[in-house]
Amino acid sequence: MIALTLAEITAAVGGDLRVAGEHTPETVVDGLVDTDSRTMRPGSIFVAKPGAETDGHRFVGAAVEAGAVLAIVEHPVDVPVSQIVVSDAVVALGELARAVVGRVRAGGGLRIVGITGSNGKTTTKNFLARILADEGETVAPINSFNNEVGAPVTMLRVTHDTRYLVSEFGAAGPGSIARLAGLVEPDLVVVLMVGLAHAGGFGGIEATAKAKSELVSAARVPGTAVLNADDPRVWAMRELAEHRGLRVVGFGQSDAAEVRAHDIVVSASGTTCTIEVAGERRPLRLRVLGAHHVTNALAALTAAVQLGVAPADAIARLETVEIAERWRMQPMGNDRVRIINDAYNASPDSMAAALRTLAQITGPDERTVAVLGAMSELGDSAGEEHDRIGLLAVRLNIRRIVVVGPEARRLYLAAVGEGSWDSEAVHLPDQDAAFEYLRTELRDGDRVLVKSSNSVGLRHLGDRLGELFS
């Protein structure tokens, strides 16, 4: 965090300062800000966030032992450290981020990008951060830090030397993107797609689309909206963007897109296509597996060009990215048995895309194996969507469908009902049972996809398989 006095931090968060030791209101603090006491180091600020399972106030002492010099708390704690008492620690974290980013932005050198979408946020963030890093100091979220805590924690990493802040915004419910993006008012916003991921928490896909459009409403004017021209619900947001005075730039494969992809070819070594940008056609060779990542690359490329990056430079930097993120289409295993660990998260759209990629990269003498767990947060659509994925797996001729966990049983039943018989589809109760089955079932020439929602935890099964066949 930039250097601020205790008095300035107190004013930013609207709290009550209680100094300790040799501190005064004019003491300057400029360390890391986080809600995790394990990340603390000398000079840090610890935000004691109450949680459903534990309470951050219990860890103030541990944070101080690790080097924290200030705690933002909801009630005083009997620990010898300066404290700012606030009514809501999470709100205070956001307000501190607002103040810090505002000060840095006032210097005139900071450009802010906001990214949202039902799928692809983290991959697009990583692509764009890689492109921008060669232009100047770039701050972007670690992993998927896109919620009410992760987004402000990322924002607070900016310094007076930061040229770009790339923020990723997830939607916990209606209004959440508006609140988070409203802290920084991005100069450029990217909306990737509207799908059924988390639709159960919104009341349907149209409500999800409205939630995603909150990012367009939060953009700074004049600014730019980079929208997926292939997604009708996203492309419809151009009316809102234009009404607000934003420049709209489309990406995708449709004629409406200004930045387009042609001739997409997927292989086991990556994905190639031709990019049409700024009136020229250029080849792109992504190392990341899957045709769906072309959309994410297009979004990042479009945003980068709008920020002044030369298209040739942006494409060259995209081609250096080896994986989108850990547990996202991550190649593991060896040449004999290849594992694709894509179990960080799953929605109907990403599940279908991953299955299609598995089918595309598997040769005629190789065998496709899909290890699938449940997709969470689908609400009333859960049963129907698991049915659809089971049917798709059979129609793609996936030779072994291994369904893990009771929540995914309907996917297994749909696959059997579609004609996956004779042990082509199996249902196993948990990860350990699946590992034991796969340990003896997998053979040379197998190409294995591991895919589930994060809460199911199949990413750990993917790691175990990757290590087994390394």
**Statement to judge: residues 148 and 221 lie in one domain:** yes
What is the overall mean pLDDT for the chain?
Answer: 94
pLDDT score for 197 = 56
Please indicate if the annotation marks 123 as binding a ligand.
yes
- Is 120 labelled a binding residue? yes
Asked if residue 201 has pLDDT above 60, the reply is: no
Confidence check: pLDDT of 61 > 90: yes
Q: 419-459: per-residue pLDDT in tens?
A: 766 678 999 999 999 999 999 999 999 999 999 998 899 99
Residue 256 scores a pLDDT above 70: yes
Averaged pLDDT, 327-352: 90
Q: Is there a binding annotation on residue 122?
A: yes
Close Cβ partners of 78 (under 8 Å, ≥ 6 residues apart): none
Query: Are 116 and 80 found together in one domain?
Result: no
Same domain, 83 and 178: no
Residue 254 · residue 284 · CB < 8 Å = no
Sign of the torsion angle spanned by Cα atoms 402, 405, 408, 410: positive
pLDDT band for 173, please (50, 70, 90 cuts): confident
343's tokens: 């179990």
E strands present in 127-269: 138-139, 164-168, 188-191, 224-228, 247-252, 259-267
Judgement on whether residues 345 and 274 belong to the same structural domain of the protein: no
Q: Pick from 124, 243, 132: which is nearest to 191 by CA?
A: 124
Residue 269 tokens, joined = 């070594």
Based on the domain organization, do 209 and 303 belong to the same domain? yes
Percent of the chain past pLDDT 90, that is, above it, reads 83
Residue 74: what pLDDT? 97
341 is in an annotated binding site: no
What pLDDT band is residue 54 in, cutting at 50, 70 and 90?
A: confident
Domain assignment of residue 54, given as a range: 4-89
Q: Based on the domain organization, do 291 and 380 belong to the same domain?
A: no
Has 345 been labeled as part of a binding site?
Answer: no
Do 82 and 120 belong together in one domain? no
The reply to whether 251 and 338 lie within a common domain is no
